[in-house]
């Protein structure tokens, strides 16, 4: 049994895929269902996936497979009995004008330095737990890179979910709005947006359930800046 919002979202996705050939973006889903934030869409998508109505395809942008439709929705949309799912893959959409041709890229292995809190700060991270392969283009530029596993949901509206792997470029400086690994008072590590405000450092979450932390400059040490994200479904 699906909730009213879950049915609305499933119907919206099916209609958009039929009309446009690609699934709607999370922003479009949020607006269509009149929700305040994309975190609500994340929860609805997860619920539909857990109930076997859709499947998200890894490593493809905006790629969703509708596995089945409820009988009532099939009748409403005029879908044939025994609905056959249509898979829309991001790489089958015509490329934008001026897009560069796709070329093979090399991969690099980065150390995963344990977990980083996207929520309440946790103890500082210093040991390698395992390694992960990332595209070479993700770690282009100066500086060393490392990876961290995200724990918590405070950055969910920035598209960073619990269990994701974030790729970090080591740096001790940050610009306003950067997502950084911040070491708080020498022993707590957290992943937040960085801002300088009235002589203080603001560590801001991307989830309204979490308050912004205001700290003195000497209480915060930037240890790196987010440059990439890896997600497994």
Instruction: List active site positions.
Output: 154, 192
Rounded Cα distance between 213 and 217, Å, is 12
Q: Which among 161, 152, 141, 213 is positioned nearest to 184, based on CA atoms? A: 213
- Exposed/middle/buried for 218, CB within 10 Å: 0-12, 13-18, 19+? exposed
Length of the chain: 233
Q: Within 10 Å of residue 231's Cβ, how many Cβ atoms?
A: 14
**Tokens for 124?**
């500082």
The residue behind tokens 């619920």 is 47
């Amino acid at each position: 049994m699906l909730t009213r919002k879950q049915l609305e979202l499933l119907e919206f996705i099916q209609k958009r895929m039929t009309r446009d050939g690609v699934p709607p973006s999370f922003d479009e889903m949020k607006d269509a269902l009149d929700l305040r934030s994309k975190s609500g869409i994340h929860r609805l998508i997860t619920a539909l996936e857990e109930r076997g109505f859709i499947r998200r395809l890894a490593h493809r942008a905006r790629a969703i497979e509708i596995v089945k439709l409820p009988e009532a929705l099939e009748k409403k949309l005029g879908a044939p009995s025994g609905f056959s799912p249509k898979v829309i893959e991001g790489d089958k959409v015509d490329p934008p004008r001026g897009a560069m041709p796709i070329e093979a890229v090399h991969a690099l292995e980065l150390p995963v330095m344990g977990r980083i809190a996207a929520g309440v700060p946790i103890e500082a991270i210093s040991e390698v737990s395992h390694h992960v392969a990332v595209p070479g283009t993700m770690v282009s530029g100066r500086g060393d890179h490392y990876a961290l596993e995200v724990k918590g949901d405070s950055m969910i509206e920035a598209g960073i979910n619990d269990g994701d792997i974030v790729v970090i470029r080591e740096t001790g400086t940050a610009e306003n709005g950067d997502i950084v690994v911040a070491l708080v008072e020498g022993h707590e590590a957290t992943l937040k947006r960085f801002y300088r405000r009235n002589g203080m450092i603001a560590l801001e979450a991307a989830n309204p359930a979490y308050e912004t932390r205001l700290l003195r400059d000497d209480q915060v040490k930037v240890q790196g800046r987010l440059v990439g994200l890896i997600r497994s479904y």
